[in-house]
Structure 1
Amino acid sequence: MEKEKALPTRQQVPDQFKWKLEDIYRSDGDWEKDYQEAPKLVEQLSGLKGKLQEKALNLFKALQLQDQIGQIMEKLFTYARMRRDEDNTNATYQALTDRAVALNTQIASATSFLTPEILAIPEEVLKRFQQEEQGLNVYRFFLDDLKRQKAHVLSEGEEIILAQAGEISQAPGQIFTMLNNADLTFPTIKDEEGKEIEITHGRFSRLMESRDRRVRKDTFHGLYSSYKKLENTLASTLNSVVKRDIFFARVRKFPSALEGSLFGDNVPVQVYDNLIRTVRAQNSAMHRYVRLRKKLLDLDQLHMYDIYAPMVRDVEWKVPYADSVEMVKKALAPLGADYERVLADGFQQGWIDVYENKGKTSGAYSWGPFGTHPYVLLNYQDQLNDVFTLAHEMGHAMHSYYSHKEQPYIYSQYTIFVAEVASTVNETLLTNYLLDKEQDRAKRMYLINHYLEQFRGTVFRQTMFAEFEKAIHGKIEAGEALTLQALKEIYHKLNVDYYGPDMIVDEDIDIEWARIPHFYNNFYVYKYATGFSAATALVQKIQSEGQPAVDRYLTFLKSGGSDYPLELLKKAGVDMTSPQPIEQALTVFNKLLDEMETLTAG
């Protein structure tokens, strides 16, 4: 067997494949200057404490200083952390990252007076301030949003108590994290070659994608056997986090935990309910997909441990990085000349860190501070999946580029609700581009399988998670007990409903909720499904309407956080208060499923 090639050191990677963090700070010395400057700005801001009601200029100065401090802290942290991500064994950047985190904590404490003090300004005074000081115009949406929150802000003393309870409220999530990542141990199984291999979180996905069904089955039952040993404890931690969510919602005068969670993005409950209702109404599409999976895997019975196995076999699709760049550029050409120009600059001007090296952070992400271009970390392996990852992360990067370019700092960050829209638009355009030019039957099936799996995991699965969250919170809000047995029964029934009659819903899946960290961040997962649906609808508009739809989409990318996410999407041409975008996305899923069934029959 050929010996695996050793990973290069950071120094051995050619510069053309490295990002240029010098565009943030030319040297560590420049980083140090900003590190020393930030506390001085905090001191200036602290000098305005208790004086914001006195005159408009004081409020304007305070908001400006908050922005300046935020920009510097963003630069300090991103530079230190991304330098560390280049090689996590580098002690210099471990130290810089730790210093940035510590400084940020100090600053958060020193500036915590700002929001309560602004909220204490009488509304008529605030209106007068905005008329007197033109500089406050840029902060109008920020101040209006603060005013919207006022009904749910308590007295100063009560807010102090809630803040002090904040650390305690994190306990369920912290306990789960320690159990899941430190204390839980998983059994050893035999891999495809009969060698002993211990199941780990990192290996689980790869083992579940094995073509050897015995490996998948042993992995599945092995993993959940460990969770079952702690099922009462894990039920208790989940129960605690649900009660926490309900407690904070009630204290802040929200009718339910769901409404309290959606309030930050100004999203009505109907958006959440529309998602569940619309996906459920078309669960027959998911059932068809399961039936097709069963046929392609040539199985008499399809079990939960078969859901990740590749449906299309024997397709080796190698794509060198240079080819992937050209592929992505051509796929995204429908987004217009300006988008193409900026994208080309990104590929050529040090935005991307391409290849794996010793000590480099795994996975992929897009990041970067306001005032510089965005950055993308990859660990490119010449696989087709890596091309999709490149398109995905450049979607985030382009969204950040346009938001940073067009918006002032305070609105330069887009919310999580819309964060996956641009990345999914890019992936969908890449899928369409490749399908338009690919005639090989096996490769077409491979591409369609890739999209169907993305859809299953992002729309159907995350919607099922969202429905589970709503059910368990609703049970406690109705005064009922959320027992281990109740959790299992709710989760089992959802799997039966979503996967349909061709899936054997193994008993072990009833405990899957016990390993999902997202459930400790309440009502979060639905955003994956709504974002994917919005992106699918946007691509359809871009392809059918052309330039008008492109213009609306680019306006959306340039808007950052200057409005509520639903309003930004409406301007792009997608109304997420309506079920229509989800229905459009499901239509695309059904169409590709039709072709996959035809190719299978052929």
Structure 2
Amino acid sequence: MVKERNEIEERYKWDIKSMFSSIEEAEREAEELKEEASKLEEYEGKVTSSAKNLAAVLELKFDISRRMMHLSRFASMLKDQDTRNQDAQRLVANMNALSTDISNKTGFIRPEIAEAGKQKIEQFIEEEESLERFEHYFEDLFRMEEHILDADKESMLAGLGDVLDSPHETYSTFTNADLTFPKVEKPSGEEVELTTSNFTKFQQNPDRDFRKETYEKMYDTFGNYRNTITTTLQKNIRKNVRMAEIRGFDSARESAMKPDNIPGEVYDNLVETVRDNLDLLHRHAELKKKVLGLEELTPYDLYMPVTETESPEISFEEAKDHVLEALQPLGKDYVEKVREALGDERWVDVYENKGKRSGAYSGGSYDSRPFTLMNYQNDMSSMYTLIHELGHSMHSHHTNSSQPYHYSDYTIFQAEVASTTNEALLTRHLLDTVEDEEFRKHVLSHALENFRSTLFRQTMFSEFEHWLHRELEKGDAITPDKADQKYGELKSRYYSNLELDDRIKKEWMRIPHFYYNYYVYQYATGISAGNTLAEKIVDEGPEDYLNFLRTGSSEYSIESLRKAGADMSSPEPIEKALGKYEEYLERAERLNS
């Protein structure tokens, strides 16, 4: 039975009161922040009138942003621990409104700096020593200078944030709140409602007839709304294309990657290298077919592990021990901080409770602990999720401890490396130390599924996403039939040895990441870099990697990863990750021979 939150021991709940003791205290801070933000108005038109003025406005801007972040994260975390809490819902809405208002008020700053020109800003840095700490900020701003609009237009676009996000909001509301699926009878006889949340879990059920039923009902239901979903996705893609045009980018892909200074060849190398190694994915499918004893493998068999037993039960306390041992190669200080995080500092909100948001994430702000939300289920997947999210949280800890606030926000391109490096270290540790053969089968199965779903699947998603944008950039409309056809072609290429039907062509309709604008490829590059760096850590020590964690946004992602040992502008890290996938595949084949 899922407990109420007050029934869970305090030691298993994050210490959110260390941020604000109450909603009332947070609301008082919000009122003070509104007053502070109003001071920005006196700088409009005067940002670069002097070096001292520029220093003052940047200090004010980042101080307001820092406090706003702390408020927003507290509000969202308070809501996530019990989504039924209407006071928390109200606080989130108020913080979103305040954040939009502050974005409007700061919209003039970057355009005024860009208009002043690089030479003038360099002169100001010589005059005002306090501006030296913003040198990379200025470098990045002038790198993007041609894409910065004038102050009025920037403020206008900032104020349109909620409107521009409406296709995603509409899709999210429709699929999470309004879209209903049929009820299904579980093999135990219990009747439950099929949802987008429990679908993947149901696809891992040993009963094949049950898997087939849930698969068919899921995609038949989505198919009933194919016109609505195509429209929302097309509007979202059109927004990306139009915003790229407004800012003078050559394409929507460039507009998504250039702000983080990620070259286009990173994307192309990923797709080409994965495509050249699809035979490994096909071998994985053949292994599943053998373990499951099937003549043909279908889409509703794809989520099944290459084991014949259910996951071993792993308590949270056992998972902590495995995590702490696995992270030893990262050094004493890293491990001790994780031990504190899992103990007295209470970074982790461990167990599911009624009303709690599903899934897991790393949260917190620059001025708080880097908290972690979990819904721990006493299985291997939960243990991997724990070490994954702790990777994010420790990344935040190292960055926040080493960088000023304005360089503390690392990119998604970097973030997915920290989490997958931890996972790779856990797999290595478990395979080296656990002797139980069934347990090792589950470790290998989990690792293989991680490569399949992250490296291969997300690359396939990336191909589809790029096709969507290119169609609209060419002036062609996206219809449900065209989307189904293209997705079906990709699925047939990636899973050529599966028995595919027309339903799988509709899978794109249930993927929310297509609303995130060239986001998914970073999962695949992340797991590639993470596995490359895990090997380097074990072989050469952790210092280069720890320096990477400390970097934040004080230098560009591609450069910080190159220094750590993963040059993502080349195919090499992807090839190394594929090599690790093949190694684990061979080990799993031997164990199941």
Short-chain TM bin? over 0.9
Deviation at 1:345, TM superposition (A): 1.9
Deviation at 1:394, TM superposition (A): 1.1
Indicate whether 1:515 and 2:510 are aligned. yes
In the other structure, the counterpart of 2:218 is 223
How many angstroms apart in 1 are the aligned matches of 2:342 and 2:187? Answer: 39
Query: What CA deviation, in whole Å up to 9, does each residue of 1:234-274 have, x standing for no partner?
Result: 33333333333222223322222212221111111111000
Deviation at 1:390, TM superposition (A): 1.6
How many angstroms apart in 2 are the aligned matches of 1:461 and 1:496? Answer: 12
Task: Indicate conservation of the 8 Å contact 2:70/2:366, yes or no.
Answer: yes
Indicate whether 1:335 and 2:327 are aligned. no
Q: Which moved more, 1:320-329 or 1:568-577?
A: 320-329
| Structure 1 counterpart of 2:565, from 562, 568, 573 | 573
In the other structure, the counterpart of 1:442 is 438
In the other structure, the counterpart of 2:97 is 102
How many angstroms apart in 2 are the aligned matches of 1:118 and 1:138? Answer: 16
Query: What CA deviation, in whole Å up to 9, does each residue of 1:71-126 have, x standing for no partner?
Result: 21122222233233333344443443333333222222222222222222233221
Task: Indicate conservation of the 8 Å contact 1:315/1:443, yes or no.
Answer: no
Deviation at 1:596, TM superposition (A): 0.7
Mark the runs of 5 or more structure 1 residues left unpaired by the alignment. none
In the other structure, the counterpart of 1:320 is 315
In the other structure, the counterpart of 2:488 is 492
Q: Secondary structure at the match of 2:362?
A: strand
Quickly say closer, same or farther: Cα 1:480–1:27, change in 2 above 3 A. closer
How many angstroms apart in 2 are the aligned matches of 1:159 and 1:33? Answer: 29
How many angstroms apart in 1 are the aligned matches of 2:70 and 2:158? Answer: 27
How many angstroms apart in 1 are the aligned matches of 2:270 and 2:505? Answer: 23
Quickly say closer, same or farther: Cα 1:234–1:354, change in 2 above 3 A. closer
Indicate whether 1:353 and 2:349 are aligned. yes
Query: What CA deviation, in whole Å up to 9, does each residue of 1:154-206 have, x standing for no partner?
Result: 34565566567665543433443344334433233332135543322122122
In the other structure, the counterpart of 2:524 is 529
How many angstroms apart in 1 are the aligned matches of 2:498 and 2:300? Answer: 10
How many angstroms apart in 1 are the aligned matches of 2:164 and 2:479? Answer: 21
Q: Secondary structure at the match of 1:192?
A: coil
Deviation at 1:285, TM superposition (A): 0.3
AA aligned opposite 1:439 = E
Indicate whether 1:93 and 2:88 are aligned. yes
AA aligned opposite 1:470 = H
Task: Indicate conservation of the 8 Å contact 2:70/2:368, yes or no.
Answer: no
Q: Secondary structure at the match of 2:198?
A: helix
Quickly say closer, same or farther: Cα 1:90–1:296, change in 2 above 3 A. same
Q: Which moved more, 1:452-461 or 1:62-71?
A: 62-71
Indicate whether 1:34 and 2:34 are aligned. no
In the other structure, the counterpart of 1:586 is 578
Quickly say closer, same or farther: Cα 1:579–1:67, change in 2 above 3 A. same
How many angstroms apart in 2 are the aligned matches of 1:197 and 1:233? Answer: 26
In the other structure, the counterpart of 2:65 is 70
Indicate whether 1:282 and 2:277 are aligned. yes
In the other structure, the counterpart of 2:199 is 204
Indicate whether 1:596 and 2:588 are aligned. yes
Quickly say closer, same or farther: Cα 1:297–1:19, change in 2 above 3 A. same
Following superposition of structure 1 onto structure 2, how do residues 547-566 of structure 1 map, counting pairs within 5 Å?
547=541, 550-566=542-558
Deviation at 1:315, TM superposition (A): 4.0
Quickly say closer, same or farther: Cα 1:409–1:155, change in 2 above 3 A. closer
How many angstroms apart in 1 are the aligned matches of 2:116 and 2:304? Answer: 59
Deviation at 1:295, TM superposition (A): 0.8
Quickly say closer, same or farther: Cα 1:260–1:97, change in 2 above 3 A. closer
How many angstroms apart in 1 are the aligned matches of 2:464 and 2:550? Answer: 35
Following superposition of structure 1 onto structure 2, how do residues 134-153 of structure 1 map, counting pairs within 5 Å?
134-153=129-148
Q: Secondary structure at the match of 1:503?
A: coil
In the other structure, the counterpart of 1:457 is 453
Deviation at 1:588, TM superposition (A): 0.1
Q: Secondary structure at the match of 1:197?
A: strand
AA aligned opposite 1:577 = S
Q: Secondary structure at the match of 1:101?
A: helix
Query: What CA deviation, in whole Å up to 9, does each residue of 1:304-358 have, x standing for no partner?
Result: 1111123312245222222221211111000012212222221222222223333
Quickly say closer, same or farther: Cα 1:210–1:481, change in 2 above 3 A. same
AA aligned opposite 1:581 = P
Indicate whether 1:427 and 2:419 are aligned. no
Q: Secondary structure at the match of 2:192?
A: strand
AA aligned opposite 1:598 = R
Indicate whether 1:269 and 2:261 are aligned. no
How many angstroms apart in 2 are the aligned matches of 1:185 and 1:392? Answer: 31
Indicate whether 1:114 and 2:109 are aligned. yes
| Structure 2 counterpart of 1:393, from 389, 392, 403 | 389
Mark the runs of 5 or more structure 2 residues left unpaired by the alignment. none
AA aligned opposite 1:552 = D
How many angstroms apart in 2 are the aligned matches of 1:475 and 1:95? Answer: 40
Task: Indicate conservation of the 8 Å contact 1:130/1:136, yes or no.
Answer: yes
Quickly say closer, same or farther: Cα 1:285–1:438, change in 2 above 3 A. same
Deviation at 1:462, TM superposition (A): 0.3
How many angstroms apart in 1 are the aligned matches of 2:73 and 2:169? Answer: 25
Quickly say closer, same or farther: Cα 1:189–1:6, change in 2 above 3 A. closer
Q: Secondary structure at the match of 2:184?
A: strand
Task: Indicate conservation of the 8 Å contact 2:108/2:155, yes or no.
Answer: no
Task: Indicate conservation of the 8 Å contact 1:211/1:310, yes or no.
Answer: no
Q: Which moved more, 1:130-139 or 1:382-391?
A: 382-391
Quickly say closer, same or farther: Cα 1:239–1:578, change in 2 above 3 A. same
How many angstroms apart in 2 are the aligned matches of 1:87 and 1:239? Answer: 33
In the other structure, the counterpart of 2:75 is 80
Q: Secondary structure at the match of 1:524?
A: coil
Q: Which moved more, 1:574-583 or 1:74-83?
A: 74-83
Q: Which moved more, 1:466-475 or 1:64-73?
A: 466-475
In the other structure, the counterpart of 2:302 is 307
Quickly say closer, same or farther: Cα 1:154–1:187, change in 2 above 3 A. same
How many angstroms apart in 1 are the aligned matches of 2:402 and 2:493? Answer: 45
Q: Which moved more, 1:139-148 or 1:84-93?
A: 84-93
Indicate whether 1:362 and 2:358 are aligned. yes
How many angstroms apart in 1 are the aligned matches of 2:419 and 2:6? Answer: 31
Query: What CA deviation, in whole Å up to 9, does each residue of 1:389-420 have, x standing for no partner?
Result: 22111111110000000000001111111111
Quickly say closer, same or farther: Cα 1:480–1:14, change in 2 above 3 A. closer
How many angstroms apart in 2 are the aligned matches of 1:541 and 1:6? Answer: 42
How many angstroms apart in 2 are the aligned matches of 1:86 and 1:166? Answer: 26
How many angstroms apart in 1 are the aligned matches of 2:397 and 2:265? Answer: 32
Q: Which moved more, 1:205-214 or 1:37-46?
A: 37-46
How many angstroms apart in 2 are the aligned matches of 1:411 and 1:324? Answer: 33
Q: Secondary structure at the match of 1:504?
A: coil
AA aligned opposite 1:230 = Y
AA aligned opposite 1:578 = S
Aligned residues: 592
Quickly say closer, same or farther: Cα 1:57–1:287, change in 2 above 3 A. same
Task: Indicate conservation of the 8 Å contact 1:365/1:393, yes or no.
Answer: yes
AA aligned opposite 1:489 = Q
How many angstroms apart in 1 are the aligned matches of 2:50 and 2:313? Answer: 64
Deviation at 1:137, TM superposition (A): 0.8
- CA RMSD in angstroms comes to 2.1
Q: Secondary structure at the match of 1:310?
A: coil
Following superposition of structure 1 onto structure 2, how do residues 43-54 of structure 1 map, counting pairs within 5 Å?
43-54=38-49
